[in-house]
Structure formats: C-alpha cells, structure tokens
Amino acid sequence: MAKNEKTPPKKPALNPYWLYGSIVLFFLGMSFFSGGDGLGEDQKINISRFERFLNDGEVSRVVVVNKNTAQVTLTEEALEETKHKKAKSSDILGRTNDAGPHYQFEVGNLELFQKKLEAAEANGVEFNYEFRTVENRWLDVLIGFLPLILIIAIWLFIMRRMSGGGGGGGGAQIFNIGKSKAKLFDEKTDVKITFKDVAGLEGAKEEVQEIVDFLKNPTKYTVLGGKIPKGALLVGPPGTGKTLLAKAVAGEAKVPFFSLSGSDFVEMFVGVGASRVRDLFKQAKDKSPAIIFIDEIDAIGRARGKNNMTGSNDERENTLNQLLTEMDGFGTNTNVIVIAATNRADVLDKALMRAGRFDRQIYVDLPDLNERKEIFKVHLKPLKSDTKLDVDFLAKQTPGFSGADIANVCNESALIAARKNKKKVGRQDFLDAVDRIVGGLEKKSKIITQEEKKTIAFHEAGHATVSWMLEHAAPLVKVTIVPRGQSLGAAWYLPEERQIVRTEQMLDEMCATLGGRAAEDIIFNKISTGALSDLVKVTQQARAMVTIYGLNNKIGNITYYQANEGDYGFTKPYSEETAKLIDTEISAIVEKEYKRAVQLLKKHKGKLTELAERLLEKEVIFKDDLERIFGVRPFEKAEEVAPKKPKATPKARTSTKAKTTKDENPKDAK
C-alpha cells in the first residue's frame, strides 16, 4: 500500500443513538400495550349514546376502570348492526374486535353513573358491570430507573465534551484524546495561497523560497551530501503576516499543510501533549513531503526550568521534550519541514533554537514605506475606492502599521463611507479610519465645562508649539480637542521611519511630550492630571535611555537589558547605589526637558495663545493653521536613503505606530 493511501479508521457499524432510541420506544410500547385501552377515536362515545345503547338492550358488559373511564362491550346481536360496524375493527393491528371492549367514555360523577346502572338493571335490562383498578407496571419501572438513565446520559455527554468531539462515534471518542488536533490543508483543494498573494515581506519571501525549492527538488541538495533543513522559525510583531507566509510556502511547494497552534497540545490530562506531538509527526511522515506549521510556539516552547515555581508546568515541559525528540528523529529523506511562528522569540528554549532543529530564523519586520504601498494595493482591490486615491499618500500616513492594521484601515474606511451613504471610498474616509483606529471613536456629545475645554486647548497647543520649534520632533499632522475614546484631546504626529534613534532625537520628543503640561503651568499657573499619559511616556523613554541604550554619561556604556529574563525575575542586575543613581538621572533628564519646554513656550507665549484660541474656535486644526501662525517650519527634512535589503533588527527601535499625545485619565495609562 502506498503511503498516501492510508486506511481511514473504521466507524462503528451501529450508531449508539439508534440503540438509545430503540430502548425508549420499547418502554413506551410496553406502557401502551399494558396500560392502554387499544381503542381509537372512532370508538369513543358520550354518556347519552351509552344510555341509548343500554336502554335498547345492546350492552352486555360495562367495566369502570380506575373510577373514571367506562369500557362498554356490546352483545353479539348488536355487533351485527350497521351502526356498530366500526366497533368491530378497533384493534390497533387491524384484527376484528369481537370480544370487546367496543366503546369507552368518561363517566364523570361516579356515584351518579352507578345509580344510572342500578336503575337500568332494576328496569329489567340484562347486563353485567364491575369496577376495576389497573396499574401500569412498566411505567412504574421506567420511572424507577429514570435517575439512573439521567446519570448515564450526563456521563456520556461529559465524555464526548472531554474527548474534543473526535471521530469514532459515541463512547469511542474518549480514546481519541491523544490524537493530534492539527488541521490538514490539502495541496489540491485547500492551499491556494502563493507568494503573489503576500504583499511586502520581500526579504522573508527570499529566505523561505529556498525551503520551497527543498520540498520540490530534494535530490538536488541531498545528492551533493547536503541535508534538508528541518525547521524555520518566523519571528516578528503580531499582524505582520507570519501565518500567511507559511501558507504561501505550502501553496508554492504544493504539499500537504498541517496547521495548529501551540495551545492545541495543552490538555488537562498528563501525557496528552506528548502523545499529540507523536501523532502529528506520524501523520506528517505518512503524507510526506509535507509542512507542519505551529503558530504561537511559545505556548509550549518556553525555556525549561523557568516559571516552574510550583511544579505545575511539568506537562508543558514533557510536550516540549517530545517535540525536540521528534525533530531530532527526522532523517534526511523524510521531506517534512516544521515552520513555527512567534512574537516572543526571547522566551524560547535554547535547545529548540539550535541548529538541527530550527535551522533558519526569519525575522518578519513591520513593513516599510514601499511594502505598505504593496499591502494597500492588495486590500484596496475588493473596495470600491475613488480613482483619484493616492496609495503613496496612504502609505506615508501609516508608519509602523502592520499588514493586519492596514487591512483594518481599509475595512474601517469602507464602513465610514457606507455610514455617510457614499458610493465610493475616498481619501478623507481613509484619514478618518486612521484616526478612528489610532485615537478611538469621536465623542462630541461628551459634557465638558468651558474651563476644562480651555485647559485642554492650551495643553494641546503646547504640544503643537514645542514640536514645531524643535528640529528632531515628529512633524505635526493635526490637533483636536474633540474627545476621542477615553482621551479628552489629542495631537497627531507623523514620526520618521528611523532605524536608529540618537540622543538629541529622543530628548526633543520628550520635550514635545512635556509641552502640554508646561503650557498649563505658564498660562494658568496650575497643573492638572490630564498629562498622565505624557508623564508615563517620558518616564519610560528616560528609563530606556539610562538603563537600556547606554545614553547617560554617569551610568556609562552599560545596559541592564536582559533579553532572556524569565517572567519571575526578582533580582536586579545592579546594586542599590546604582539604583539610586538611575532614579536620579531619570528625574534629571525629565526635569531638564520640562524646563526647556517652559522656556520655549514663554518665548512664544503670544503665538501659543493665538493657536489655543483658534483651536477653541475650530476644535480641529491642521498643519496649515500652524504655518499661518508660526511660518514655515525652518528645519529641512533629510533625504531618506532607500534600504537595499531589509535587516532583522527587532530591538533597534521602539514602536513606530502613528503617535498620539493624549490627555487621558488614569485608566489610560499603559
């Protein structure tokens, strides 16, 4: 038998539900035949007709059952009459009912009915009557077994749920708990994604292209003594297209694709995770050449020995050990490649990362300007967009956006256009979508006092003024005092796409962030809680300068950043004296930039006031409004050099998503 002709598991010949139904029908039948009367609707009469039959001498016997139902048996002469024809064929099986009973009715008042019978007997009518009590014994037995039946039914239901709904039917499902939950995408029908469907990610596509070639032409490499790589690890921020890239590899190679998440190995039973790993690799070997894709591998691939304070993670470690064993067990001719994806490569076990297991580590970075253009083109195809829409402009407005973010922008813009009853999605709809995603939903109905509104206006004007006067601060896009999300006001900036950040750039950004609080201090001689998010941001930046990037003269060229630090790292990598010095330097940096912002705003106090008044009037102002007040920004933007090749620099910069400076309450602190 060929490898691919794997015999499917045999299903039970009889569905257990048929058995359960048969038992129920048996009990119901027994109840019917034992306690039922066997009479149909045609044989049911009223008491007046019975009295007529009785007085005519057509009744031979009357039986009162359970004091409420009377069963009437006719004489042989009466049965020969036409009017009683239907009474003879009342048996459920179609047999002639000569022995009776032939009719039945409800007696109503039993005492009164008995008097009528005695009166008829006194008048010379010949018939017999009796009173009988009938018990349905089978029904009583069924009711007695009902609690046991309910317990069995509940047990079967729980077993089905615990087994995860696997095949095999009924109670057999419990034995499938150790089977792999991987979803198989057949190369002929399911996997239709190719590299043409993946926009951007040019560097990553080049690296995985070789994996495709391995699967298509393995002998090309093995004939020279080379070994086919066993695994590739896709690392990058969420939403950058790691899963899509893995599917494209399967689609290009035209091989079966087993897809599952790291959490699919986790189960409440001991040993199930390891069993599922074994079953997964067995299925992949039977289907070889094939690709196994494990998404979010950090769920089972975390470094062993960490976070194991109570011994509760032994099962996860057993699963990881089994995964390591299976990857080592591959021969050079199995033609099975494992592709894994994670955004937490720093927490993975070193044994998993060594050569011979995950031979390739491919960093899938956030898309740059040109890649965002390509991604926008892909997601704009299904939209009815304006023909004048500039894709270059959209790409420039979304620095730091991932592929998933861009898809969300396109979808949100279509919803906004539909809300406005437009026939096409325009440029403004996309800008509104970006604002909606970055800042949240506009809340124009939010009640704000005039004094609070004035404070917010000067706060935002302070941000705008300082950023306009500083060379390295991000250029302003717009300022608004309309509440959006949980923020009371916001200033939108368009940050430059930097691969490295210098000291003066970080200091200018911190100064611009503190411009809001500085403006409140100068104008009102008071400060408020509205600058919470600003303080959180500058404190994090100052701490990073001192403890991570080595940008402080007193601390020196030292970093205390530990990439592989466990989640429960309680020890500090520095002494108490150094901790004091760090706190002092962080405070000094923040205070210095705050004083710098105050000096700038005092120098341009008149223009600050003019900008705030315009903001109070219009509620939303743009770059053009600032140019009318301050003049053209004097700093020329340096020419950007197009990157020759994307580099994997996961720690080279902080988040570059379109930045907002918000006036938020304490809930918004991140």
CA distances from 318 to 231, 273, 274, 302, 473 (A): 20, 8, 6, 12, 51
Cβ count within 10 A of residue 145: 11
Catalytic residue chosen out of the listed positions 460, 509, 585, 593? 460
CA distance 518 to 511: 10
Please tell me the total number of residues recorded for the chain in this structure: 670
Q: Would you call 462 helix, strand, or coil by DSSP? A: helix
Q: Who contacts 216 (Cβ-Cβ below 8 Å, separation ≥6)?
A: 253, 254
Structure tokens, 409 = 């922008």
Structure tokens, 149 = 């039946």
CA distance 241 to 22: 53
Query: Is 326 tagged catalytic?
Result: no
Q: What string of DSSP letters covers 314-380?
A: HHHHHHHHHHHHHHHT--TTS-EEEEEEES-GGGB-HHHHSTTTS-EEEE-PPP-HHHHHHHHHHHH
H/E stretch holding 498 reads none
CA distances from 651 to 70, 499, 538, 648 (A): 93, 10, 19, 9
Q: Would you call 219 helix, strand, or coil by DSSP? A: helix
CA distance 5 to 10: 15
CA distance 83 to 261: 77
List, by residue number, the catalytic residues.
Answer: 460
